């Protein structure tokens, strides 16, 4: 169970890091689009737009809530960005051991450092999500809990039936 969650977390983190790397390696010197343009909705903020769009669509947050949440996410970017950079640097340091000579001791040390950084990243993420959660009304909080419970139920169902086929159809 924990292995699947860890794999899911690692995959999500890899996607986030890939997006951050792709964004950081662009050489376009033009100014970024205004905050309301595009899915990012803020300079350098991965996923802010998607999160706020989800809250707006599913929870019906007000424009004032959206503005306040965007401000929190932009403020916290300076906390998360160095941790994401550190994860990327550690990942880059692992590449020679994947593509070249394997050294278990060095790989263990790098992965251990990544684990510590991931812990810091998840702690910050939980704190930020708590700040956002506190901005929701009690009805919105209840709706979010309901959506999370439904998502968890779907994930449990998929884990119990990983092949995608329905066991009743096979009989």
For residue range 72-93, what is the model confidence (pLDDT) as tens digits?
A: 999 999 999 999 999 999 999 9
- H or E element in which residue 87 lies: helix 63-99
Q: What is the DSSP letter of 149?
A: H
pTM: 0.61
Q: How far lies 143's CA from each of 51, 58, 65, 155, in Å?
A: 15, 8, 16, 18
Task: Indicate the Cα dihedral angle 41, 42, 48, 52, nearest 10°.
Answer: -50
CATH fold label, 46-154: 1.20.120
Delimit the domains of the chain by residue range: 46-154
For residue range 12-30, what is the model confidence (pLDDT) as tens digits?
A: 555 555 555 555 554 444 4
Confidence band, pLDDT 50/70/90 cuts, at residue 9: low
Residue recorded with tokens 């009304």: 137
pLDDT at 46 over 90: no
Q: How big is the chain, counted in residues?
A: 171
């Amino acid at each position: 169970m924990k292995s699947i969650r860890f794999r899911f977390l690692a995959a999500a983190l890899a996607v986030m890091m890939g997006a951050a790397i792709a964004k950081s390696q662009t050489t376009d010197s033009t100014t970024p689009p205004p905050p309301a343009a595009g899915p990012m909705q803020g300079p350098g903020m991965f996923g802010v737009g998607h999160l706020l769009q989800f809250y707006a669509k599913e929870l019906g947050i007000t424009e004032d809530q959206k503005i306040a949440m965007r401000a929190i996410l932009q403020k916290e970017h300076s906390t998360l960005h160095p941790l994401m950079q550190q994860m990327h640097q550690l990942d880059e340091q692992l590449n020679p051991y994947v593509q070249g000579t394997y050294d278990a001791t060095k790989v263990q040390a790098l992965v251990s450092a990544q684990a510590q950084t991931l812990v810091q990243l998840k702690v910050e993420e939980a704190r930020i999500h708590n700040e956002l959660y506190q901005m929701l009304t009690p009805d919105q909080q209840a709706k979010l809990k309901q959506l999370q419970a439904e998502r968890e139920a779907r994930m449990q169902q998929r884990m119990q039936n990983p092949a995608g086929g329905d066991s009743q159809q096979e009989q």
